[in-house]
Amino acid sequence: PQQQPQPQQVYSTCTGRKKALCIGINYIGHPQALRGCINDARHVHDFLIKRWGYKDEDIVMLTDDSKNPRQRPTRANIIDAMRWLVKDARTNDSLFFHYSGHGGQTRDLDGDELDGYDEVIYPMDFQRSGHLTDDVMHRILVKSLPRGCRLTALFDCCHSGTVLDMPYIYRSDGKLKGLQINERTRLQKATNADVITWSGSKDGQTSADTFAGGVAVGAMSYAFITALTAKPNQSYQELLKAVRKILYDKYSQKPQLSSSHHIDTNLRFVM
């Protein structure tokens, strides 16, 4: 069979329209309730507005304490909001997706995962409506993006290392760890977009629900905001090191940086 041509990668300048979706689920009333996820979503919302030029009217918030049924993180609402985020996206736009809540793994049914498991997130109504797999999220959030459109995704949940099925994962020295998906899948999931994923832990690791300054927060959301607030101008490699350093003393989790195309990790991180 003929070799598929690889899509040309294009870095986004992140100078176009900015939109964001922030999801925080505490699973109120559930035996495995979390404490910090709604706070995480609010902190990321504020951080994007104060530090990165996002506007409140271009950010959708889904939290399970919302009184508005459309702003609650049900499976249907999350899918609708993901579609809103990528709708009418253009080259050099900057989209931001944040999820803080439970994550997990389920047996991979289509053979795209090297470890045999798909990564999943859990909507507030997962017991009734089910989870959302990385395959579904990739199809909605990544596949529809045009060339050179940035999507920055921040996942603060367990088993999140490859949650958007990004093929390239980086070590803190900026070097590639090697491909995380097989070649057939890499071709299927190839994209012209500029997708960067920051995740709270490797697949197979749990993420911490911690107290920082007396407020319950997800450790990864806290570290990401703290590192970029202290030093907004950092390379990808510097930011990965800074986030890992903040978490290193207290937690076993090792934050991951992954991408849709091979990135020069010495470049400045923008969003």
Radius of gyration, CA atoms only, the chain: 17
Is 158 an active-site residue? yes
Would you put residue 92 in left (φ > 0), alpha (ψ -120 to 50) or beta?
A: left
Would you put residue 148 in left (φ > 0), alpha (ψ -120 to 50) or beta?
A: left
234 sits in which H/E element: none
Q: Please pick, among 102, 131, 138, 159, the residue that the annotation labels catalytic.
A: 102
Q: Please pick, among 45, 158, 159, 261, the residue that the annotation labels catalytic.
A: 158
Question: Which sign does the torsion angle of CA 132, 107, 35, 198 carry?
Answer: negative
Helix (H, G, I), strand (E, B) or coil at 92: coil
Is 102 an active-site residue? yes
Sheet strands (E) in 44-181: 59-63, 94-100, 103-107, 117-121, 132-133, 150-156, 168-170, 176-179
Would you put residue 27 in left (φ > 0), alpha (ψ -120 to 50) or beta?
A: left
Catalytic residues: 102, 158
